[in-house]
Amino acid sequence: MSSAARYLDPNLIQRLNKLSLTARRIVEGTAGGLHRSQLKGASVEFRQHRSYVAGDEPRRIDWRVLARTDRHYIREFQEETNLRAAILMDRSGSLSYGSRLGSKYEYGARATAALAYLMLAQAESVGLAMFGNGIEQWLKPQSYRIQLSRIIELLENGRPAGYSDPAAAMHGLADRLERRSLVILVSDLFAPIPRIREGLARLRYERHEVIVMQVLDPDEIQFPFRGFFRFNGLEGERSSLIDAVLLRNSYLRNFKRHQEQLKVACRTLGVEFAQLTTDLPLDSALVWFLTRRLQRG
Partner 1 sequence: MFLNVTMLAGLAGALLPLLLHLLNRARYRNVRWGAMLFLYGSDGSRSRISKVKEYFLLVIRMAMVTALAVAMARPVVGPAGVSQDSPACTMILVDHSASMELSESGPTRLQAAIKAALNVISNLKRGDEAALIQMPDTGNSPHPITTDLQSIATRIEGIQTVSGRADINAALISAATELRRSRAPIKHIVVITDQQASNWRPAGLDTKAWQSMAADSNGRMPGLTVIPIGGEQTSNVSVESVRIVNTPVVRDIAADVEVNVRNYDTIPVANLRLAILEDNRELYATVTNLDSAELKAVHCPIVFASSGPKTITARIVKSGIASDDFANAAIEVIDPIGILVVSGDDSPPSEFQPQNSADFIRLALAPFSASERRGADLANVQVVGMDAWPTLNRDRWHIVILANIPQLTSDQVRQLEQFAYGGGGLIISPGNLTRVDDFNSLLWRDATGLSPAEMETPVAGDGSQSTWLLGLDLSHPVFHYLNAREEPVPRIAVARYFPTGAIQTNSHVLGRFASGSPFLIEQTYGRGKVLLFTLPLNANWSALPMSGFFLSTMQSIARYMCSTIYPDRNLWPGEPINAMIDNAIGLQGTIAGSGSPVFSAPINLIRVGDGYEARFSNPLPPGRYQVSVRTAGGQRDIPFQVRTLRDESDLKNLTAEQWITNQKSMGFERIDSDSQSIAARMAAVRRRRELWLWLLGVVLLLAVIEMALSRVWSKSFEEALE
* Interface with partner 1 (CB under 8 A): 93-97, 104, 188, 190-192, 217, 220, 222-223, 225, 227-235, 237, 240-243, 245-256, 258
- Cβ proximity to partner 1: between 184 and 189 the closer is 189
Closest distance between partner 1 and the C-beta of residue 168, in Å? 17
Closest distance between partner 1 and the C-beta of residue 88, in Å? 18
Closest distance between partner 1 and the C-beta of residue 251, in Å? 5
Residue 279 CA: distances (Å) to CA of 155, 165, 217, 231 = 21, 26, 7, 22
| Beta strand segments in 70-220, E | 73-81, 84-90, 125-132, 134-142, 182-187, 209-216
- Cβ proximity to partner 1: between 138 and 225 the closer is 225
Closest distance between partner 1 and the C-beta of residue 10, in Å? 31
How many residues are given for the chain? 297
Per the CB < 8 A criterion, the answer to whether 183 and 115 are in contact is no
- DSSP codes of every residue in 60-100: GB-HHHHHHHS--EEEEEEEEE--EEEEEEE-SGGGG--SS
> What residues have CB less than 8 Å from 34, skipping those under 6 apart?
20, 22, 80, 83, 122
